[in-house]
Chain A
Amino acid sequence: MDRRRFLQHAGCALCTPAADRLFFRVTDAAAAVAYENLDPAARLKLADMALDLARRAGASYADVRIGRTEHEFLRARDRRLEELTSNLTVGFGVRVLLDGSWGFAGSERVEEAEIQRVVGLAIENAKAARLIQAIPITLESVPAYREDWRTPIRIDPFSISTDVKASKLLTINETALTAGASYCTSLMSLVREEKLFASSRGSQIAQVRVRTAPYFEVTAVDRQSGRFASRASLAAPRGEGWEYIDQYDFLTEAALAVQEVQTKLGAKPVTPGRYDLVLDPTNLWLTIHESVGHSTELDRAVGWEANFAGTSFVTPEKLGTFQFGSPLMTVVADRSQAGGLSTVGFDDDGVRSIGAEFPIIKDGVFQNYQMAMGQAALIGRGQSNGCAYGDSPASFPIQRMPNISLQPNPKPTSLDDLIAGVENGIYIVGDGSFSIDQQRYNFQFSGQLFYEIKNGKRGDMLRDVAYQGRTPDFWNAMDGLGDASTYHLGGSLFCGKGQPQQIAPVSHGAVPARFRQINVLNTERMDF
């Protein structure tokens, strides 16, 4: 009985597979081989089986991803460990191109019978999509690769005992509470993502990506005034091993954060107006992400994401001519940078991405979009530049960001040099509130810490600061940039896009930069 007939006959569609095959299928060894038992050869055999089924069903192209993701998460609130979870997810996805329509299906059951069912669903979905396929999907050719790649790490985070990780967090919290914080929450997220990609073009690519993400936030409360303030860690998530967490000096930062949050609580409210801003790279990485990263995604620019993520003000006729920012501004996309969350050998279309850097903006001029397979022809170009990612093997791969980084000033320039050039301004550290419109024009960003700049010197702390601007005006107002010694790699694990929404990890390198006469708001509301 196939699945549809079962649904029709069962009366209740809640129970999908037949009950006798639901669980504890250890005796049914042929149909229920646990993923954990699959060696690389067995995974390849399952992938081949999926590709062969798709080919026989008439697909002109097919690919399959089989994956396994380990995720360990710990959260400590003050002096207790509040959450400790260890998750293991396996799954696969099959994508077929049939008569110019995509069809995709995925499942958590990596076994032969399920692969047959899921390939059938992918074919069925492609046939259904034909009804509204006014413009056929066409693909460029992509070379076949048979390679392995893994994130270079020194210490596997999953080799470290859980109690060591818990102790790390509780020590951070103890340091902050002892230093006078009212509250401290810390957390740690560790991911190992293993994925096999195989395509009907002959590629077989096995990759392992590792991510480590530490975080803490201290809060100070003044019960008398009813005011409270917080300060988050400046530690960024990274595509690195346990060595990153091991080497980061959280205890010094936690103690410092407590001093800073107490100062912030009583700091002077900012007077709204236009200011020269010096943005620390711990703040600027997120501005790059939102205003440069998302605006230069080709699928947005051509309207494919109009219903949710939006379109872009960077329309295709601007390629090669649009003055996005000042001549100091060069932004490079890469999947090669050490520690980058998007660093990977091949993207989820099987396109080689490591060593395939490309400029998005060069000397202020827009040069390249980010593209996935099947998009380059839309702007008269030949090849994808390796920017596809699906957030699980069972998610349809869509265009996602590589690491996108603002390049340092080749001339020696320090943070102090940038501040020295400001008469009346604000220096902003750390990322805070962030929001930008659906075409990536109007943005508003806050931060963790704000300092007055008066006559070239950093002064007192301010509070309630946000800066708001229009992307090309903002980047054209940049007139100072730090050199390579000031470079910092920020990033996020949670970049959202697509429907259903997928999240992607991405890093952005930045140096401190100076922007002239930017609109600054005071975010405190006094009228209710």
Chain B
Amino acid sequence: MYRQARWDESVIFELGREGRRGHIIPDVEEEIKKTINDTMRLLPKKLRRKKPPRLPELSETEILRHYIRLSQMNYSVDLGLYPLGSCTMKYNPKINEILARSLSIGMVHPYQDEETVQGILEIMYKLSKWLAEITGTHEVSLQPAAGAHGEFLGTLIMRAHHRLNNKLDDRTEIIVPDAAHGTNPASGTMAGFKVVVVRSDENGCVDLEALKSAVSDRTAGLMLTNPNTLGIFEKDIEKIAEIVHEAGGLLYYDGANLNAILGKVKPGDMGFDIVHINIHKTFGTPHGGGGPGAGPIGVSDELAKFLPVPRIGFDGEKYRLDYNRPHSIGKIRCFYGNVGVLLKAFAYILSLGAEGLEEVAEVSVLNANYLLQKLKEIRGFDIPYAKNRPRKHECVLSVDKMYRDTGVRALEVSKRILDCGMHAPITYFPLIVKEALMIEPTESYEKEELDRFVETMRTISEEAYSNPEKVLNAPQNTAITRLDEAKASHPKTMTLSWRMHLKKKD
């Protein structure tokens, strides 16, 4: 039986005592003190801080205990199944953490002379070549900090491409399928495009007729993930690419679901012009509770000139940073990317190698189809769309029948899963499935853990039909029971900081 820790841990502002301290700042040497005294006088009076910040005062031991306790009230991949669809919550190898903690990277400054950073430049250069090989693209930029950041860069490259052809004023629309990840339409808007949504067909794939009528000389491009968010491979990809390209648009690959096709098929070969890669999904770097990840993008030969500066070059002897790219879109962040994360992906690819990565793809797909097979037999569950086609990395379950039969919804099923010591799937996505549970097991979990998940789901179904209260009252075994999420966002009760809390209390 699962029982998450419950520490009733106060907010840190309520802990500690005046005068305690958690850290000693390095000394200022006596000789310096002699020449520079009364440091605050170096600042003009009107800009000296008058009220000290209301930070808590605690010893190191109290702080450590506080955050260790909090950590115990947090579920993670290293505890068990974490089947969030499209998030690829796979195992994060420990050797990569050890390597990334090295002072030989931690203590390196981004503006150091190139001669002094040849090691990390070689790692970044090689990683970008490997990612180009995996995605079938010509050149890769490692700079985006996350998948959505890569999408933003990709849509900016569409902009730059159409501008160079003097077509930007006409090419105002980006097309996304109705099953797309939310970041796709949001990225399109951020890059200044109008978003046009195309519907999925009865098989859950892009409706070719709808796409044909959506494209026009206003089309800047189409953003697509393949396999899509139902886990289904868009088998008409050749036709899709043809429709988009003939209309003068570019084809963008959302790499969230790349895990399933590693070594099997390359996005570049399928006709995609721009591809982003979620390093923290496919290449095993930890999600860190929501980041930092990394979202490199690869592009075709024709689009490489638009990538952000600097590019990493190699002349056969030395690696260097190249800023001389007149067509570059410029910068989307400072420096060169989330290097501390990219380093872990470099080690990951080395550990798996070419065959290992293909095995990752195969087993992730095997696991997803195994779950699909087992779950669809459970009462009240259904797998909508393309019932006879295999899924790739994920499958989407609908509990709509159960909801209509018993009043138990996807939300409550997911809360009951938590009670059993597993994380819930993504709920209510994609939007084209009613009462959706989107499940991605990845390659990282053993059959026994998958079977335990299936048994959990079977039990929840039985409970829903016999004793729905049990499901409706879940979770009971987590650190806390169901929260009032509406209250957290209501203007009257919204509390986004300790300051706002104190203000509301008065």
The finding on whether chains A and B are genuine partners in a shared complex, rather than unrelated, reads: no
Q: Which residues of A contact B (CB under 8 A)?
A: none
